[in-house]
Structure 1
Amino acid sequence: MRRTNRWIAVAVVAAAILVVSMIPIPGSVPEEGGGIPTSLLFHFVGYAALAGTVGHAAFPAGGRLRALLTGVCGASVYGALIECLQYPVPYRSFSILDMATNAAGATLGAVVLLGALALSEHRR
């Protein structure tokens, strides 16, 4: 995939996260009865995808470690900014737990990318 296309993929994933994070979602009231709330799973998976695409876009320029750090930091900061945007919105809420989940998902996404890059380099 060309480098420009990689950054377009980042923009698409980031835009999708922004839209879903800012629109009202029916039935998004926190679930009761134990278990992991569905919204946290969405946060985790979404930010794993964002970190993976950011890291993949950054990879050719700086190596695997830089791609990992760029993915984790970029996605985590984006997640924190989204939470700040949600603060004044009446049907959304600011959540430290969401930010932590975003960062955890970003870390996993970047680690998975790092493993995939290592495998692809090893096969060459």
Structure 2
Amino acid sequence: MTGADPRRLAVAFAAVVVVASLVPVPSAASGSAQPDGVLPAWVGVTTAFHLVGYAILAALVTRAVRRAPHRRVAAAALGVAVATGVGFGVELVQAPVPWRSFAWSDAAVNGVGAVVGAGIDVLRSAGSRSPGHRG
């Protein structure tokens, strides 16, 4: 993604996540969102999307706000805070939407995804700046 403005990319991805979080989900309207006994009760069909989506969002925000290599952890903390905040905000917005609902479990998975994404970005950026790295 050479040449792409990291801030614009983070904002655009956040917008995609928000819009995707508000559209109707056909399986949710039909009653049973998953086959019985396949996954734990707290794991819904969309859990993977929450985890991956907020991991990507946190990584993009972390990259967008990082100014210097020695500020990786501070940037990651901000990335986690922003992504988790967006996730919680989306849950609040979903509460009154008839085909959506507020779920603490989704908010928690969003936070876990944010930590994972920011952590991966920190590790990748640390590795890319290590002596002997050729990239």
TM-score (norm 2): 0.84
The yes-or-no answer on 1:97 pairing with 2:100 is: no
Stretches of 4+ aligned residues off by more than 6 angstroms: none
Judge which range, 39-48 or 27-36, deviates more: 27-36
User: Offset of 1:37 from its aligned partner?
Assistant: 2.5
Q: Equivalences for 1:1-124 in 2 at 5 Å?
A: 1=2, 5-28=5-28, 29=31, 30-34=33-37, 35=39, 36-60=43-67, 63-122=71-130, 123=133
Q: Secondary structure at the match of 1:41?
A: helix
Structure showing greater Rg: 2
TM-score (norm 1): 0.91
How many residue pairs align between the two structures?
A: 123
Give RMSD over aligned pairs.
Answer: 1.7
Q: Percent of aligned pairs with the same residue?
A: 34
Structure 1: how far apart are the matches of 2:51 and 2:34? 17
Which structure features the higher share of helix residues? 1
Q: Secondary structure at the match of 2:24?
A: coil
Structure 1: stretches of 5+ with no match in the other structure: none
Structure 2: stretches of 5+ with no match in the other structure: none
